[in-house]
Amino acid sequence: MNEHVIEIRDLHFSYEEQKVLDDVNFVVDRGQFLGLVGPNGSGKSTLVKCILGLLKPEQGEVRLFGEPVRYSRAGSRLGYVSQKANSFNLGFPATVKEVVASGLYGQLGLFRRMKQTDWDKVDQAIGKVGLTEYRDRNIGKLSGGQQQRAFIARALVADPELLILDEPTVGVDVKSTEQFYQLLTELHRHHGLTLLLVTHDIGVLSTYVDQVACLNKRLFFHGDPDEFAEREQEILTRAYGHDIQIVSHHHH
């Protein structure tokens, strides 16, 4: 079954007068790992919000698992890790286990109690991201990279088929970033997860992802990383304008 996990057709979106997405079209198939790049303000987060069903397209359509997004009730089939995970209230007294368990609330409903099988799922998700020895530690007492893995575990605990990550490595050091990409590769290759990663880090594209999309209002490229590498200069000049320097900057 070659189901399109994400299908974006003739998508247009504007905030008030400002057009942010202009006729965007692409699909992500089951098992693909798509890296979405584009300069600051190019509409990446807006596109993600349309995929999540948080913003309604002005025109066009987003389908998830074959159904229009507003009806799809993607629910637990989709996991999401936002940029804001990094600014989570870390003074909040919750352990890794509790943070990860909160990823099940959508399924459980707020008032149903966690059963042993639910705690088993929590432990499995914590194991997948390599945080077993930290499961009872307060989330505020982990490193930035470990916190980020805890948020991935929270997204994984409901066993999604699609994981969307928006700029997850902003403010995380190089070593943790490296480990983070290894974790994504593992989830992709060994667990068959479909991944959409929004990133500023063009350097990771050739190494980790198997599809690249380059957005700046319009889609300037969608295809495999080899083709992207061959045409990189041309694509980036068109999509980023002349200030190509911007691509190697991490903004904090």
Ligand X SMILES: Nc1ncnc2c1ncn2[C@@H]1O[C@H](COP(=O)(O)OP(=O)(O)OP(=O)(O)O)[C@@H](O)[C@H]1O
Binding site for ligand X (CB under 6 A): 15, 20, 38, 40-46
- Helix, strand and coil content of the chain, in percent to the nearest 5, comes to 45, 25, 30
- Pick the closer one to ligand X by CB: 43 or 103: 43
CB of 204 vs ligand X, minimal distance in Å? 15
- The 3-state secondary structure of 133-155 reads HHCCCEHHHCCHHHHHHHHHHHH
Give the shortest CB-26-to-ligand X separation in angstroms. Answer: 16
Least distance CB 246 / ligand X (angstroms):
10
Please say which residue, 46 or 211, places its beta carbon nearer to ligand X.
46
Choice between 101 and 215, CB closer to ligand X: 215
Q: Among 178, 177, 210, which residue's Cα sits nearest to residue 193? A: 210
Compute the least distance from the CB of residue 46 to ligand X, in Å. 3
* Residue 142: count of CB within 10 angstroms of its CB: 18
Q: Which is nearer to ligand X, 45 or 72 (CB)?
A: 45
**Shortest Å distance, C-beta 202 to ligand X:** 13
- The radius of gyration of the chain's CA atoms, rounded to the nearest angstrom, is 18
CA distances from 177 to 23, 35, 145, 173, 182 (A): 33, 15, 7, 6, 9
d(CA 244, CA 252): 18
Of 37 and 96, the one with the shorter C-beta distance to ligand X is 37
